[in-house]
Structure 1
Amino acid sequence: MPQENRPQSALGNGRQPNWGAPGTAGATIAAGLVFENVSHDYDGVASVRDLSLSIAPGEILCLLGHSGCGKTTLMRIAAGVERQSLGKVLINGQEIAGDQTFLPPEKRGVGLMFQDYALFPHMTILSNVMFGLTGLSRKNAQAAAFAALGRVGLADYAADYPHALSGGEQQRVALARALVPRPGILLMDEPFSGLDKRLRDSVRDQTLAVIRETRATCIIVTHDPEEAMRMGDKIALMRKGRLVQHGTAAELYNNPVDLFAARFFSELNQIEGRVTAKGVETPLGLLGVETGSEGEKVDVCIRPQGICLSNAGLCGVPGRILSKRFVGEVDLLSIVVDGLDHPLQARVRAGSSWEAGMDVAVDTDPKDVLVFPRRESQF
């Protein structure tokens, strides 16, 4: 299409991107993926340590963790770009990588979408999407590529080159290229990190819709817990090459296995406690939590929304509001309480009557209280 007649770039003019009609993405046959006791190292430095994980056919798994925790390495092992030092990788129950086995990447039925999109700058958008369709005739490959570009709303840009597109448009081209061979497994490495926040939610939701249509098994690498909770059927939280916890978003948020997992999904007020026969003694009073052995020291973690305030003299321990900040839907309060080294952080509905300098009574909501065995260092 001539440049002057082509639609303006949706991501370049502040408007939301236009995607193709739902239901037009080509479906695939989803594959199950299993890691069995996988380890990997770079020049003797461990990057993945004895990790076992199973992803069901058609499931969307988010690999979550800080930079350098082994997420991308694990994804590259699945793709065949890296080879593990120990353990096995299986697709649909068949070993594809092990001590005596290594199936090359092009034979695994795995689509890989890199963080930087890895588009070929000297090739048109259409040629980029056609690149992996070596088993089809040029006519059929071209038709499949046009259909994939149409689903992500970029068919009108097929003759352009990557440098002419915005970052968000390049992301959509990379998605089309990864999906057009109809892989049984799709691997995506931080696919939305290059997008500004204004467009990220929209592109993320549309991308998720396309993945659901294809029915492919999908692993999405991310360091953003909100993104993982929004996109993943399951989440695998990693730390220093190890799997910390695997489950649904609700399971990881409501029942974190340790303090590291709890902190990954929400801010926490951390205070010391001691287990008694009646509950846990803390500077905020006795909490009716059944945990540990009597006399054991524990870490009590309270989410900011779990700090409950009432007028001074009512139920709770005495405190004083040190500061109040309006941040849109909520007010953030900082509250000093005797016996605590640091002020408590609380979230209350915006427009509350609480003000800095007010004396208050402080209590907690049990559903936002987490208790863990005391450890000198968890990080």
Structure 2
Amino acid sequence: MKIETAGGGSEPDVELIALDRSEANRLKKKLLKKPQEEMVDEEVQTDEKALYEEPHTDEELVDQELDEVGEDWVEEEPEEKWVLGTKRLIVAGMTSGGVGLVLSAVVALVSQIDFLLPEQFYESTIGIALSLTMTLIAVIVVSIAIIAWVISIGITVIKYGQFQVEKRGTDIIVSRGLLERKQLTLKEHRITAVRMVSSILRQPFGYTTLYVESKGGGSAEEQQSTMLIPLIKRSEVEDVLAQFLPEFSFEEEYTLSRLPKRAKFRYMIRSVFPLLFVIVPIVYFFQPVGWYSLLLIIPGMLVGHWRHKHGGFYHDDQFVIMQWRLFNLNRVLIPKRRIQAADVVQSPIQRWRTLSTFSVSILSSLSGKSFEVYDLGEEDGRTLLAWFSKHHTQLDSNEKEDEPL
């Protein structure tokens, strides 16, 4: 059992190992009781026990409170429920992109046991490989890829099998897992942003993954976010948000403001630059064939064009929406009142090109979390900063009006 609080880091604040299931359920019910119920219980218990009972140790008091909650507490029926069906679970596995992870694990395993294999094994393997035709080698490679793909599907099915999301009052409960059943409880008022991530494999089919950013952070494997729904149609996101997170429900149609054309060259440069660390050594050590590696610049420029094309933003009185792409397409929805800080920065080159970078920060993990849109227009950056500053100026004036004279 893991317990996390607002402002927590990557590790849980409390972790209880090998806890009895019944004790875990009773402790969970006690922790999730509403504050009003807690106050009433404490007042009644204090008044009665102060008159008739002897003082108890802290451990005895905790045990007694858990016993009282365990039998009398009635679990609320879920107000809303969302279940990941078998078909979508299989689709999630097929598009998870876990093939590379499986192959990496196999390579790592082989590297650890290579000293156990005799030299004759390597000699016979090399001899067999040299005797194979290119067609047979291609068949073997494809077969290995298919096997790794099937394994990645199995891993996804085991990890996210019987996935469901329930809402009870202000609690959002996420349950998943076939072999190891995991359950996570989120408080609705602690959620600060909603993020949609569409991988390269899922985007053509209109699927996305829904994450939430919450005070207290999330898991390290999910980049300190919490996965709310592993696979959902983009067209269904609004309905799900209206059911589980009304604060993030966005009923009006909106169109993202795209990045200016003059920013495209900067996106291309940023995409091509990492490739130079590969191209330069190849050209230097493998002349003249190495010059063909310069062709890698073309796909790098296409990736930069792709990233520029999908970057954008939108804002109104209540929300700001930011979209960007590295390889996966990311779109984050943040209510204005959840933003802790906003900033617009310009490098000398951006100032010359009348561009800027807009960033917002929210409460999430111990260090918070920031989202940026690079190379939007200078005027757009000023507009977004003024939009946020106006909101906080109004809040400050309201607080001053509320202060007693």
Structure with bigger strand share is: 1
Return the TM-score normalized by structure 1.
0.24
Greater RCO (CA < 8 Å, at least 6 residues apart): 1
Structure with bigger helix share is: 2
Higher CA-based Rg: 2
Return the TM-score normalized by structure 2.
0.23
